[in-house]
Amino acid sequence: MTDSKYFTTTKKGEIFELKAELNSDKKEKKKEAVKKVIASMTVGKDVSALFPDVVNCMQTDNLELKKLVYLYLMNYAKSQPDMAIMAVNTFVKDCEDPNPLIRALAVRTMGCIRVDKITEYLCEPLRKCLKDEDPYVRKTAAVCVAKLHDINAQLVEDQGFLDTLKDLISDSNPMVVANAVAALSEIAESHPSSNLLDLNPQSINKLLTALNECTEWGQIFILDCLANYTPKDDREAQSICERVTPRLSHANSAVVLSAVKVLMKFMEMLSKDLDYYGTLLKKLAPPLVTLLSAEPELQYVALRNINLIVQKRPEILKHEMKVFFVKYNDPIYVKLEKLDIMIRLASQANIAQVLAELKEYATEVDVDFVRKAVRAIGRCAIKVEQSAERCVSTLLDLIQTKVNYVVQEAIVVIKDIFRKYPNKYESVIATLCENLDSLDEPEARAAMIWIVGEYAERIDNADELLESFLEGFHDESTQVQLQLLTAIVKLFLKKPTETQELVQQVLSLATQDSDNPDLRDRGYIYWRLLSTDPVAAKEVVLAEKPLISEETDLIEPTLLDELICYIGTLASVYHKPPSAFVEGGRGVVHKSLPPRTASSESTESPETAPAGAPSGEQPDVIPAQGDLLGDLLNLDLGPPVSGPPLATSSVQMGAVDLLGGGLDSLMGDEPEGIGGPNFVTPPAATVPANLGAPMGSGLSDLFDLTSGVGTLSGSYVAPKAIWLPAMKAKGLEISGTFTRQVGSISMDLQLTNKALQVMTDFAIQFNRNSFGLAPAAPLQVHAPLSPNQTVEISLPLNTVGSVMKMEPLNNLQVAVKNNIDVFYFSTLYPLHILFVEDGKMDRQIFLATWKDIPNENEAQFQIRDCPLNAEAVSSRLQSSNIFTVAKRNVEGQDMLYQSLKLTNGIWVLAELRIQPGNPNFMDLELSLKCRAPEVSQHVYQAYETILKN
């Protein structure tokens, strides 16, 4: 009879009966009773009352019974910690049992009992098991150390278990080595600063030897550990690659992907001229192709990883296009992923094959797949110029099918083809216009409107077409409204006499009747442009558009390099770094590929690599040149300016007669009424009153309150820290801090000469950084710096230097030169030195902006034990240019609504909730909203620094 009988019981007084059976003298009866207890526990009944009786059954030689008791113990020890102590003696005893299975079982269970009181009793038995003669016990004990570290890290360090674990890496048994590596990696991950896995060529050699004899999970642990090692030169990298390559033919796909990760990482260090490099490329293709013959779920994971590999090294799979052709029975998620990779591999050599496939896919039944296939045809046209002609005719054939969603996708991609190849395929516009009425998706409507506006001079009835869209202007999505506004302004600039009414109508719809700030702003800009300088308007609106690049959806290079280091993990499936989806206190370490060796072909540009930096100590935080701070700095500003920042005008828009006769010059003559009283000037650019309508989030009733701002007392300045120790700079010690006073930023330096010779000829230079910080004047040390002399200097800074995104964002790399040498160091500047003085936002605008920034951009933080009340918090923050827009009290909690602005024009909005804790200290909850969410973490750090110092 099976064990199912234990789950079918309906007796009353069951606990009492079980208690009697557990205390029975007969072994069989005891065993049956424990099975019934485990069965009850499994289905969710509370059998914790039987704890002492079950623990008594531990004293047995029967392995099966012991396992059952241990299972019960793991489940209930947490809720009955005092009882669990009764079991400690048995653990200690079992750890000395002659049977290694029982010793290992005891250690495994010890690790699973998460009760603080017990942990210290378990140290002795664990120490013995780590040195046990049986490898099975040692490998179990290794994992137990990691579990114990999770419960009480300090105890594990004090007891010296970490050193024992490191010794196990040299163990003779490969499974012990693998588990020791797994345990150390786990511990190192939760404590990134501790240098636990101190890998060197000797330990790497031991790991590679163990690799051949481990189980598959052991191999994965070892391979993942190898991937974190940086070889000292290309020869070592090659020898590791040679020893890892056999893992590519393993039956387990996880082992294959881990091996691919190690090889992809170390290939960075190999010169492309090496014969071995070519051999390795050839060896990588077959295992990846083999992964695609697995079941669909595994195929999907493999395809997501291949997508990354193809972006990094397309040459690996360039001859394997056919395996990515879609099968009729592939699930949709596999089809879409294959399609993506097909486009990445498309080239002149295989484009004919690819297009034939794509045309076939476009007649499938699955709507999502068909859309993606039509898009893919457009991407091929943009990627492979020779195929553009063919792609356009294929798209026209598809438009003739009149299938609604096919037509819409085709129009969206044809817009991109026009951008890539101007004045080449415009003859198809007539066909596109025939399908205008069938468009119902925002993206397709926006694309069609763009085409009509851009080529208005070639379309006779362009004004009628655009007017037809205007009728339901307020029902359109923002994307369509913005596109329509621009298209009509383009049309007006091309045919001014015929479309004056149309342009007035759209400008008034966009500015007076709309509550979308983006649309309103664009409307006002066009209005002012047209009214003040029509020639400039033409230059701006009808400017030559840059050609679009072939791959618009490539992953940004630094992120791609990081994701390559996570091949075979969840990050490679999400295509996001772990920090984006792993929550909790674990420090997620940013990984990056090793730098290319000198023998390889990519030479660094002089401004990314300081010439004097010794290669070993070169700061590895300088990102690649292409990694500009894309979204972050262009969000509110457009491309960063290289000249001094323009003074912001304080004149309200409405104060200027926006269309006072400015259109006349555009239209040649002066018809009556333009610029006269009949022409409507737009109102002042304030937020419409209806934005104050109830929001439900409590922000709406902000506006009947006092602002609660304090007095000005100067921004917080951190104490000086040593940035460059004397031993690293031939006797020159540099310490410093950053200050902001009355709108100017300075770097306060203290230079000390600890050498035996005089120092002269000082100069300073900054590497490009996230906010364009640069010295505003030379570093002036007026007299030579004698031995043991110290000099204090305040170096003024500005923010008009070159911009490049740094990791972390507030990292600044500095080079200082004197008569002895050039020295390099990097330091982190506090973000509040970049908070500008005009960062106080109007209340109505604050409310509108808060609503307008998407919720996913909101970040929450906690500031504990702040020694200030609401009034003092507001005052302290204002002195560092964080302005309180409004203040209110909700159920005894003070709420401050604040705004600040960075030097590059990015606004950050904050809601600060002050919870009274004990009398002297407050707990603060900070919510930040910003269009560039990567700034939020650093703004929070600024808040914490300012409020706690």
More confident residue, 76 or 911: 911
How far is residue 102 from each of residues 61, 106, 875, measured CA to CA in Å?
Answer: 9, 6, 66
Helix (H), strand (E) counts: the chain: 38, 13
Cα angle 247, 248, 250 (rounded to 5 degrees) comes to 65
Sign of CA dihedral 226, 229, 230, 234: negative
Instruction: State the DSSP H helix or E strand holding residue 245, giving kind and residue range, or none if neither.
Output: none
Q: Which of 132, 186, 139, 130 is nearest to 159 (CA)?
A: 130
Distance between CA 687 and CA 693 in Å, rounded?
12
Instruction: Find out whether the peptide bond into 496 is cis, omega within 30 degrees of 0.
Output: no
Distance between CA 527 and CA 536 in Å, rounded?
12
Q: Say whether pLDDT at 743 is over 90.
A: no
Sign of CA dihedral 628, 632, 633, 634: positive
Distance between CA 470 and CA 759 in Å, rounded?
72
How far is residue 350 from each of residues 300, 342, 604, 727, 790, measured CA to CA in Å?
Answer: 24, 10, 34, 59, 69
In terms of DSSP bridges, do strands 763-766 and 721-724 run parallel, antiparallel, or are they unpaired?
unpaired
Q: Which of 935, 906, 909 is nearest to 806 (CA)?
A: 935
Q: Say whether pLDDT at 573 is over 90.
A: yes
Non-local CB neighbours of 97 within 8 Å, separated by 6+ positions: 103, 106
Q: How many CB atoms lie within 10 A of CB 718?
A: 15
Q: Which of 797, 785, 794 is nearest to 729 (CA)?
A: 785
- 138, 141, 142, 146 alpha-carbon torsion, rounded to 10°: 180
Q: Average pLDDT, stretch 133-148? A: 90
Q: Give the start-end residues of each E strand in 19-83.
A: none
Question: Which parts of 870-929 fold into alpha helices (H)?
Answer: 870-878
Q: Which two tokens stand for residue 926?
A: 């900070």
Tens digits of residue pLDDT in 320-338: 888 899 988 889 999 999 9
Q: Say whether pLDDT at 47 is over 60.
A: yes
Tens digits of residue pLDDT in 772-814: 999 999 988 888 888 889 999 999 999 988 888 888 889 999 9
Sign of CA dihedral 460, 465, 466, 471: positive
Q: Say whether pLDDT at 538 is over 80.
A: yes
DSSP letter for 818, please. Answer: -
- The DSSP annotation for 441-478 comes to SHHHHHHHHHHHHHTGGG-TTHHHHHHHHHTTGGGS-H
pLDDT at residue number 652: 36
Q: Which two tokens stand for residue 148?
A: 């114990």
pLDDT at residue number 120: 77
Question: Any bridge partners for residue 911, and if so which?
Answer: 897, 927
- CB contact at 8 A, 434 and 470: no
Backbone angles phi, psi at 83, to 5 degrees: -70, -35
Q: Which of 218, 225, 226 is nearest to 242 (CA)?
A: 226
Question: Any bridge partners for residue 899, and if so which?
Answer: 883, 909
Tens digits of residue pLDDT in 338-373: 998 998 888 888 888 888 888 888 888 888 888 889
- CB contact at 8 A, 456 and 495: yes
Exposed e or buried b for every residue in 615-630, given b needs 16+ CB within 10 A? eeeeeeebbeeebbbe
Distance between CA 226 and CA 208 in Å, rounded?
9
Instruction: State the DSSP H helix or E strand holding residue 927, giving kind and residue range, or none if neither.
Output: strand 922-930
Question: Any bridge partners for residue 214, and if so which?
Answer: none
For the chain, what percent of residues have pLDDT higher than 90?
17
* Mean pLDDT of all residues belonging to the chain: 80
Q: Say whether pLDDT at 10 is over 80.
A: no
Cα angle 215, 219, 224 (rounded to 5 degrees) comes to 155
- The DSSP annotation for 821-886 comes to -EEEEEEE--GGGGB-TT-PPPHHHHHHHHHHS-GGGEEEEEEEEE---HHHHHHHHHTTT-EEEE
Distance between CA 802 and CA 812 in Å, rounded?
12
Non-local CB neighbours of 328 within 8 Å, separated by 6+ positions: none
Residue type, 767: N
Q: Average pLDDT, stretch 465-474? A: 84
pLDDT at residue number 523: 92
Tens digits of residue pLDDT in 671-712: 343 333 344 444 444 333 333 333 334 333 333 333 333 334
Q: Say whether pLDDT at 492 is over 70.
A: yes
In terms of DSSP bridges, do strands 858-866 and 893-901 run parallel, antiparallel, or are they unpaired?
unpaired
Q: Which of 115, 122, 187 is nearest to 151 (CA)?
A: 115
Tens digits of residue pLDDT in 256-283: 999 999 999 888 888 888 888 888 888 8
Identify the band that residue 909 occupies on the pLDDT scale cut at 50, 70 and 90. very high
pLDDT at residue number 302: 93
Tens digits of residue pLDDT in 706-736: 333 333 446 788 899 999 998 888 889 999 9
- CB contact at 8 A, 426 and 455: yes
- CB contact at 8 A, 150 and 190: yes
Q: How many CB atoms lie within 10 A of CB 159?
A: 18
Tens digits of residue pLDDT in 366-424: 888 888 899 888 888 888 888 888 888 888 888 888 888 888 888 888 888 888 888 78
